[in-house]
């Protein structure tokens, strides 16, 4: 029989202290139930409580992101309120240090939220707390895509922005993404700002109860002008040409917030409306038709493919729930179900080619213009940059880094993220990327070609690049640490049959790259393998890239490399 958990145990004390300051009826009830069951000897309840209070959900360069629920290791109103107060303190201090806000002007924070569970509640809590701390707070007029919030930070000249979203994470997650204005240009936070904000949040948690934090209704609701400005700017990315006429395509919002905004931009830019995946068009935080609302996940686009087959479409376009990512699929008789989703690298290289052509002919930019991608994305983008005489930058993973590349005119990462309009949005934007992609499709159709023909032309012009990815999801994050430590202690000399020529550990930084938990292996025969933990999910990821003499050669070589990488991973895990 399980021993009773004493009422005065440290775990019970921490849980009760959290519960007494929690303004949410649902999470208070969760704790009441868990505490009662733990005190009665329920081992599962005790373990659950232990997980919820074993640590604090960390605030880092991705802000906050985690599972909804009661406790310091979950996303909830207590944690978000502490984060809002800590961020407000940081913004006030930063504004004072730079002279912003002098003359009675309060620092400005703009807040957005999507359709996930509690996103609107977390946004309102943040607005009330920040307003009470003397900030001017503007909340977007309704649930909207993340790129609209990123745009609003720059458009309104805000000191900071908050987007309440967990992007493409599982349905029961939510998050808190922070942007900074001023010298940061509306990009997501990086060091040292992340640590400084985290320290302020911890100070609030250590010294103040959430139910004692002052609140105020003196915050503003943004008018439609912000959304209209985003619509106009995004429509100008690629106005429809003659080739757009008659385009039959399918769109899914993946139960997210993308369609309302995208539909306005399509009308402004002159593109025909798509056939909608009706079951997934309206925002629904339950995500009832997908197990995992990420277009990269197997099965997530099955309804879109079925809709496309019924409609006789030539293209499928998908956004993730907060519309900062873009997925594209083409008809392919050889693929299961007759449709093939392009990889993020394929789409990223096409959009990069488009951007490079425009930048190379744009007066006044010349060689100072640059293309950028995360170091785990295809090396093909560097080939494009060199072809057009543009600068190129490889960065750590995440648009917080990509968006800061000097002279950037375009950036992408293989995880379906594309920055095509850096003058207005300094973050990945699945909506503006969709418009740019439709522009490529329309131009090809005007020449009697399809998107598949453009892909072949890219290969023939720049080389036959192929990529693959291996993701290992874990329940225990220490398993990832063990694999990374084992590879560092005994670097492989070959992967499969391909020799490793150079092993790079980025833990302490390398060249222009800041420190990151990344291993980069340069192999013979123009191949590369990169190993890193995911920044947003409990996964270890391996990124594989090759350059072949033909499409078939590249496909064969990357498949062989993947087999070798899986064998290496199994060996390391077994050891």
Q: Which residues are catalytic?
A: 167
Distance, CA of 479 to CA of 459 (rounded, Å): 38
Structure tokens at 475: 């329940």
Distance, CA of 419 to CA of 397 (rounded, Å): 14
> CB atoms < 10 A from the CB of 270, how many?
14
In 314-448, alpha helices (H): 344-361, 380-387, 399-402, 430-446
Listed in sequence order, the residues at least 6 apart from 569 whose beta carbon sits closer than 8 Å to its beta carbon are 470, 472, 483, 542
Structure tokens at 372: 């950028």
Q: Is 406 exposed, middle or buried (0-12, 13-18, 19+ CB in 10 A)?
A: exposed
Helix (H, G, I), strand (E, B) or coil at 493: coil
For the CA atoms of the chain, what is the radius of gyration? Answer: 24
In 249-343, alpha helices (H): 258-269, 302-311
CB 141 within 8 A of CB 227: yes
Which among 62, 89, 325, 322 has a CA at the least distance from the CA of 178? 62
Structure tokens at 284: 């629904």
CB 302 within 8 A of CB 294: no
Helix (H, G, I), strand (E, B) or coil at 523: strand
Distance, CA of 149 to CA of 179 (rounded, Å): 9
Which among 399, 397, 422 has a CA at the least distance from the CA of 409? 422
**DSSP H or E stretch at residue 83:** helix 77-98
Helix (H, G, I), strand (E, B) or coil at 313: coil
Beta strands in 363-518 (DSSP E): 370-374, 391-395, 408-413, 417-419, 464-473, 494-495, 498-505
> CB atoms < 10 A from the CB of 272, how many?
14
Distance, CA of 380 to CA of 215 (rounded, Å): 51
Phi-psi region of 211 (alpha: psi -120 to 50; beta: other; left: phi over 0): alpha
Total count of residues recorded for the chain: 575
């Amino acid at each position: 029989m399980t021993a009773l958990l004493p009422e005065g145990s440290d775990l019970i004390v921490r849980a009760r202290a959290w519960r007494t300051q929690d303004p949410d009826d649902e999470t208070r009830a969760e704790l009441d139930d868990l505490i009662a069951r733990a005190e009665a000897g329920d081992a599962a309840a005790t373990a659950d409580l232990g997980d919820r209070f074993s640590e604090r959900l960390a605030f880092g360069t991705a802000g906050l992101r985690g599972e909804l629920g009661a406790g310091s290791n979950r996303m909830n109103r207590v944690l978000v309120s502490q984060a809002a107060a800590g961020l407000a303190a940081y913004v006030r201090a930063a504004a004072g240090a730079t002279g912003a806000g002098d003359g009675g002007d309060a620092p400005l924070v703009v807040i957005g939220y999507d359709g996930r569970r509690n996103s609107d509640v977390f946004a309102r809590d943040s607005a009330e707390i920040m307003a009470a701390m003397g900030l001017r707070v503007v909340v977007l007029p309704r649930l909207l895509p993340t790129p609209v919030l990123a745009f609003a930070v720059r458009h309104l000249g805000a000191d900071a922005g908050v987007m309440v979203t967990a992007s493409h994470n599982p349905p029961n997650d939510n998050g808190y993404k922070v942007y900074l204005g001023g010298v940061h240009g509306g990009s997501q936070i990086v060091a040292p700002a992340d640590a400084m904000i985290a320290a302020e949040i911890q100070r609030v948690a250590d010294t103040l109860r959430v139910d004692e934090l002052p609140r105020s209704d003196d915050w503003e609701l943004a008018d439609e002008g912000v959304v209209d400005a985003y619509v106009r700017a995004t429509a100008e990315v690629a106005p429809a040409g003659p080739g757009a006429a008659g385009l039959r395509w399918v769109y899914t919002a993946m139960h997210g917030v993308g369609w309302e905004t995208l539909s306005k931009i399509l009308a402004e830019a002159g593109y025909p409306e798509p056939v909608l995946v009706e079951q997934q068009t309206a925002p629904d935080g339950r995500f009832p038709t997908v197990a995992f609302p990420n277009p990269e996940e197997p099965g997530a686009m099955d309804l879109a493919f079925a809709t496309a087959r019924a409609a006789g479409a030539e293209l499928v376009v998908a956004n993730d729930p907060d519309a900062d990512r873009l997925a594209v699929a083409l008809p392919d008789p050889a693929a299961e179900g007759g449709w093939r989703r392009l990889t993020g690298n394929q789409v990223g290289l096409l959009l990069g080619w488009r951007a490079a052509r425009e930048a190379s002919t744009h007066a006044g930019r010349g060689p100072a213009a640059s293309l950028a991608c995360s170091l785990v994305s295809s090396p093909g983008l560097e080939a494009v940059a060199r072809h057009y005489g543009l600068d190129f930058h490889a960065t750590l993973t995440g648009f917080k880094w990509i968006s800061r590349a000097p002279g950037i005119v375009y950036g992408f990462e293989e995880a379906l993220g594309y920055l095509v309009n850096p003058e207005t949005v300094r973050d990945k934007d699945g909506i503006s990327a969709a418009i740019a992609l439709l522009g490529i499709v329309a131009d090809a159709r005007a020449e009697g070609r399809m998107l598949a023909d453009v892909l072949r032309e890219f290969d023939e012009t720049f080389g036959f690049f192929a990529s693959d990815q291996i993701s290992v999801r874990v329940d225990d994050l220490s398993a990832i640490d063990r694999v990374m430590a084992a590879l560092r202690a005994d670097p492989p000399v070959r992967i499969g049959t391909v020799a490793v020529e150079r092993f790079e550990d980025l833990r302490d930084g390398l060249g222009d790259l800041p420190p990151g938990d990344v291993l980069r292996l340069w192999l013979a025969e123009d191949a590369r393998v990169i190993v890193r933990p995911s920044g947003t999910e409990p996964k270890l990821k391996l990124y594989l890239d090759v350059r072949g003499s033909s499409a078939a050669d590249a496909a064969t070589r990357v498949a062989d490399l993947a087999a070798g990488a899986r064998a290496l991973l199994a060996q390391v895990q077994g050891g």
